[in-house]
Structure 1
Amino acid sequence: MVATSTLKTKNSECITELPGQTRFGKDSDFWDACLAEPQRSADLCEERTCRQLAQMFEGVLSRAKRPTLHCSSVLVPERLTRRIARQVLRLASGEPCGLRGCVFYIHLELDEGVKRLERVTYDAAVVPTFELTLVFKQDGAAWPSLRDFLFLGSCFAPKSRRVLRLSPGFRLIKKKLYSSSAGTEVEEC
């Protein structure tokens, strides 16, 4: 599990300059490097984008801890955000503007219902062509902490739970915005 309490993120409403961009020295040119090894460059770009998406999802969870989820930390299965990022890239690959035309709606499915966490526009300069709704799921098999168990139902019950554990499963819902036959795809992972 990866705890999201150590992440430091900035405003996620618009991601215009993504972190971790590769910079080339004075002697080499970016396009020469891309032309020399196009497959390697595409793989590096996809891996970097996947890593940035994973960080974005973890940032959303981290920002939602106290105000929305009422917990002190969120435990995320180790490769969950990477798996989600790969699925997002796969779904965006057939779109006219690719990932740049995406608007994310990120939710968390809890025992009490579904909570909306955040809306993220990947590139505000591009008119959105599709929406992706990501639904994280709470791990229902996780045991409550002893503290939560002892205070459950008493007048000393804590107002917030200490730890929220996410399930390795998630749901992605894709909705196209540009076509008259706009359909909805639902992927349960």
Structure 2
Amino acid sequence: MVATSTLKGKSGECISDVSERRYHDTACIDKELDFWDHCLAESHLNVDLNEDRTCQQLAKMFENCLSRAKKTALNCSSVLVPEKLTLRIARDVVRLASSEPCGLRGCILYVNLECEKGCKRLERIVYDSSVVPTFELTLVFKQDGSAWPSLREFLFMGTCFAPGFKHVLKLSPGFRLVKKKLYSPASAGTVVEEC
């Protein structure tokens, strides 16, 4: 509120001038606060965009790994991946990497598939080979045990494909991530997350 009176105060200044100056100072402070709020919001948005981009890249890396492993380590013609599974894994990987000195750049990622007889190594991914690794992550995909083989698989079993060849491998929405810090004692630096 701006005073319109021109009464003189004890200091000799007009009250209206003092009130207007206070209003002007408050308005300047409000504008400056709005500016900094806007800057902080923009920087937060940039961080979110970078994190989303990194998650998308990681998810694509996981999908490419599964694609390469189809005919070699997995012995199947196709892999069925639950919707957004690779993106969920990527977000967890980014979260686990956030507390590391070099972040995701210092990560070696081992990708495995849990089988009846243990784990089968699919691939080793180094996110940035120019950085000395500070931690390892082991990702373990799980097979969907509830999936029944299709009639087509029964018909083709033993005829067209080599023994042990599965036509379709279906992954479970669950997975396991094991984090091992390379710069601390083994017992203190291991984190296991079951998702």
Kindly state the Cα deviation for residue 157 of structure 1 after the two structures are TM-superposed.
7.6
Taking the TM superposition and a 5 Å limit, the aligned residue runs for 1:33-182 are: 37-150=42-155, 156=159, 158-159=161-162, 160-180=165-185, 182=188
Separation in 2, partners of 1:145, 1:138? 16
Higher helix share: 2
| 1:72–1:161 contact (8 Å) kept in structure 2 | yes
Deviation at 1:156, TM superposition (A): 3.8
Matches of 2:114 and 2:56, distance apart in 1: 24
- Quick one: which amino acid aligns to residue 115 of structure 1? K
Alignment-derived partner of residue 183 in structure 1: 189
If you compute each CA radius of gyration, which structure gives the higher value, 1 or 2? 2
SS across alignment from 1:37: helix
- Measure how far apart 1:36 and its partner are: 8.1
TM-score (norm 1): 0.76
Any idea what SS the aligned residue of 1:46 has? Answer: helix
Same amino acid, percent of matched pairs: 69
**Equivalent AA in structure 2 for residue 121 of structure 1:** V
Q: Give the Cα–Cα distance (whole angstroms) in 2 for the partners of residues 180 and 71 of structure 1.
A: 40
Deviation at 1:67, TM superposition (A): 1.1
TM-score (norm 2): 0.74
Distance in 2 between the 1:36 and 1:77 partners? 34
In structure 1, distance between residues paired with 2:88 and 2:190: 21
Q: Distance in 1 between matches of 2:166 and 2:111?
A: 21
Deviation of the 1:127 alpha carbon: 0.2
Residue type of the partner of 1:188? E
Residues 111, 138 of structure 1: 8 Å contact kept: no
Q: Which runs of 5+ in 2 are unaligned?
A: 1-38
RMSD: 1.9
Higher relative contact order (CA 8 A, sep 6+): 1
Determine the C-alpha separation between the residues in 1 that align with 2:159 and 2:185.
55
- 1:102 & 1:89 partners in 2: Cα distance? 10
